[in-house]
Amino acid sequence: MRQRGFSLIETVLVVTILAILTGVAVPVFTRLLTHYRIESQTHGLLADLQQTRANAMYQRRVTRVKLYPARYEVYSSSADSGAPLRSSLLRYPLSVEEGATIDFNERGIALTECSICVDSAEPTGALDSVVVSKTRLSIGQRDSGHDCNAKYITKR
C-alpha cells in the first residue's frame, strides 16, 4: 500500500531549516529597517533646512530653525516667540555640535555653522548627519566612535 504525505522526519527537517533562515533574516531585516529610518529622518531634516533657506531668500527676511533632541521647529522669522510654521517630531534623537538655533539671513546664508547628527543605539552605516556651513548644506555619515563634529563626518 502506498502512503501519501510527508514523514515526521521530513516535516521536522523543513521546520528546522525555516527556523534557521528566520533566525538569520530577522536581525538583518531589523538592521536594514533602522538604517532606512535613520536615513529617512536625516533626509527629511535636510529638506526642511533647504526649504527654510529658500524661504529666507524668497521672503527676504531671516528665518530660523530651532533644534531639540526630540524635535525641531521652523519659524518664519528670527523672532521665535510665536508659533512655529512647522514642528517635526523625531524617532531618533538629535545631537548638535554648537547651539540649537540655525538662522538663515535674507540671502540664504547660514548665520550659525554647525553639525547635526542623528543618534542611534548602534552604528548602522546610514547617512546620519547634516553639516550646515554658511553657504552649503551637506549630508554625510559620522565616523563611528566620534562626536558630532564636521571634521568627523564623511560628506556625500
Query: How many degrees, rounded to 5, is the angle at CA 60 between CA 57 and CA 62?
Result: 85
Q: Percent of the chain beyond pLDDT 70?
A: 95
Question: Is 67 in contact with 102 (CB distance < 8 Å)?
Answer: yes
Q: Which overall architecture, per CATH, does domain 8-155 show? A: 3-Layer(bab) Sandwich (3.55)
The pLDDT, as a whole number, for residue 150 is 86
List pLDDT tens digits, range 58-115. 999 999 999 998 899 998 887 777 788 889 999 999 988 656 899 999 999 999 888 9
pLDDT of residue 55: 92
- Give percent above pLDDT 90 in the chain: 53
Average pLDDT over residues 140-154: 85
Q: Which of 131, 126, 139, 74 is nearest to 104 (CA)?
A: 74
Q: What's the predicted TM-score (pTM) here?
A: 0.82
For the segment 17-38, the average pLDDT, to the nearest whole number, is 92
Please compute, for residue 40, the number of CA atoms within 13 A of its CA located in the half-sphere on the CB side: 10
Residue with cell 527654510: 52
Average pLDDT over residues 3-11: 82
Alpha carbons 18 and 24: distance in angstroms, whole number: 10
DSSP state of 93: -
* Mean of pLDDT values over 117-140: 86
| SS3 of residue 131 by DSSP | strand
Mean pLDDT (the chain) is 88
